[in-house]
């Protein structure tokens, strides 16, 4: 049973209802698929030791989950976040798009205070989980904003855990195949969506966990 304080801290982390149950215990490493199994086992083991050994002084305080849609990135990131909450760190889940929208709304005089406060906590908390980093279209404002958020956390040696399905050669991703179907952001490089400065800091700040090439768990469940 969680104590009152532990419950409060977990509620403060603002994990969306859909992911509240996500944990290491209910993560399936797909033993029937040797390629996926190897990747997922490595991913789970890295994520597990990260959560156990955090914090890391001044080096690579964060994690970057990178891979195709439905491969368990958010699930594992939340599993890590919950362990860190249980260890007493102040953690916060933010959907990337939602964070940008809140910041936009914070400029509004009448309704902006709560949004400003939310953005401030994204700057200041011990561990920020930025889910679906780089989703959607990029503008100069988006690029400047994400760069300044990441730079702030970098300068204050604060951890970022990010998930993305954008590609990056630094994470071992092959070049984008031509004619790739669908509307997936796997069609883009991370640098195209968040800019080269934010991208480069992120790699400096984070250990990389790749789930690229693993089958989509959402499809599997549907079978």
Ligand X SMILES: Nc1ncnc2c1ncn2[C@@H]1O[C@H](COP(=O)(O)OP(=O)(O)OP(=O)(O)O)[C@@H](O)[C@H]1O
Among 74, 106, 186, 191, binds Mg ion (CB under 5 A): 74
Q: For residues 190 and 221, what is the distance between their CA atoms, to the nearest angstrom?
A: 28
Among 13, 15, 27, 195, binds ligand X (CB under 6 A): 27
For ligand X, which is the closer residue by CB, 80 or 205?
80
- The piece of 41-49, 65-73, 119-127, 176-184 that touches Mg ion (CB under 5 A) is 65-73
* Residue 87 interacts with ligand X (CB under 6 A): yes or no: no
Question: Rounded to the nearest whole angstrom, what is the least distance from the CB of residue 164 to Mg ion in the complex?
Answer: 9
* Residue 206 interacts with ligand X (CB under 6 A): yes or no: no
- The piece of 67-75, 175-183, 197-205, 214-222 that touches Mg ion (CB under 5 A) is 67-75
Q: For residues 184 and 4, what is the distance between their CA atoms, to the nearest angstrom?
A: 41
Considering only residues 45-74, where is the footprint of ligand X by CB under 6 A? 69-74
* Residue 132 interacts with ligand X (CB under 6 A): yes or no: yes
DSSP calls for 208-222: EEE-TT---HHHHHH
Burial 165-191, CB ≥16 within 10 A → b, else e: bbbbeebebeeeeeeeeeeebbebbbb
Q: Radius of gyration (Cα) for the chain, nearest Å?
A: 17
């Amino acid at each position: 049973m969680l104590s009152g304080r532990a419950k409060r801290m977990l509620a403060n982390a603002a994990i969306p209802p859909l992911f509240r149950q996500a944990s290491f215990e209910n993560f399936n490493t797909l033993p029937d698929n040797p390629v996926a199994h190897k990747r997922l086992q490595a991913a789970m083991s890295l994520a597990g030791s990260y959560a156990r050994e955090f914090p890391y002084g001044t080096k690579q305080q964060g994690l970057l989950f990178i891979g195709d849609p439905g491969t368990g990135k958010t699930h594992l990131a939340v599993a890590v976040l919950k362990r860190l909450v249980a260890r007493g760190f102040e953690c916060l889940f933010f959907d990337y798009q939602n964070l940008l929208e809140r910041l936009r709304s914070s400029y509004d005089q009448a309704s902006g205070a709560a949004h400003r406060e939310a953005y401030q906590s994204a700057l200041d908390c011990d561990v920020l989980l930025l889910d679906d980093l780089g989703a959607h279209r990029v503008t100069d404002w988006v690029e400047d904003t994400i760069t300044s958020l990441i730079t702030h956390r970098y300068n204050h040696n604060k951890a970022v855990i990010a998930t993305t399905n954008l590609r990056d050669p630094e994470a071992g991703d092959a070049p984008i195949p031509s004619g790739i179907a669908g509307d997936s952001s796997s069609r883009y490089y991370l640098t195209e969506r968040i800019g080269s400065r934010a991208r480069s800091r992120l790699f400096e700040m984070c250990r990389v966990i790749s789930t690229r090439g693993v089958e989509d768990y959402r499809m599997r469940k549907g079978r």
